[in-house]
Amino acid sequence: MTRAHLPGIIAMAAIVVASNILVQFLFENWLTWGAFTYPLAFLVTDLMNRIYGAGPARTVVFVGFLVGVFCSLVGTQIMGEYGPLVTFRIAIGSGLAFLTAQLLDVSIFSALRNRAWWLAPLFSTVIGATVDTAIFFSIAFSDALAWIHPETDVAWANEVLPLLGVGPAVPLWVSLAVADWGVKLSLALIALIPFRLIVVRLDKHTSLA
């Protein structure tokens, strides 16, 4: 790790901390405000990979993972209306989802880095975000995985309701996962703009140096 990597490390840490705080606040019926900040982690990872390579990108991912673990430990000690703000299942789901999805993002980006400029960031983020959503919500809320921590009450998340209020009947956590996934996919497309602008600017600066 060098001083050049510090902006990426700081950005990732800030995103993880902000997301852990904002996830406590609802946005409409199916999302939390954290759903809008967390996907930015993929942008940071992809920029680090594009500019410095897979090694520094993985370093940033591991820093984000450690910060996330710390936030989860703090959250388990803060009591809300229905118990700890972060349950054991949420902590496991969050950490495992982040680490798996981000490292997968790094691998896919590296495999596609010599293709069209948009292919690597888009595909790596879409696949990583999909894996992230599937791992987190199933571990944290699925009744089928209640054996992970039987003391965690996930009855509220398994209430059967129409998907996003209009579709077929599914457990509530499925609607939460679909909404979260939709935001991640939308932001994956939007993030191509800052990704391209930052990379072009840095490439131009390097060529002039």
CA 75 to the chain's CA centroid:
17
Could you read off the pLDDT tens digit of each residue along the chain, which spans 209 residues? 677 789 999 999 999 999 988 988 888 889 999 999 999 999 999 999 999 999 999 999 999 999 999 988 888 787 766 667 788 899 999 999 999 999 999 999 999 999 999 999 999 999 999 999 999 999 999 999 999 999 888 888 999 999 999 999 999 999 999 999 999 999 999 999 999 999 998 877 655 44
- 106 in Cβ contact with 61 (< 8 Å): yes
pTM here is 0.93
What pLDDT sits at residue 111? Answer: 97
d(CA 126, CA 133): 11
- 15 in Cβ contact with 37 (< 8 Å): yes
- Residues of the domain holding 93: 3-208
| Burial call 18-33: b when 16+ CB within 10 Å, e when fewer | bbbebbeeeeeebbbb
Say which amino acid occupies 166. V
What pLDDT sits at residue 17? Answer: 93
Site of tokens 């409409």: 28
The CATH number linked to 92 is 1.10.1760
What pLDDT sits at residue 207? Answer: 54
What pLDDT sits at residue 1? Answer: 61
Q: Into how many domains does the chain fold? A: 1
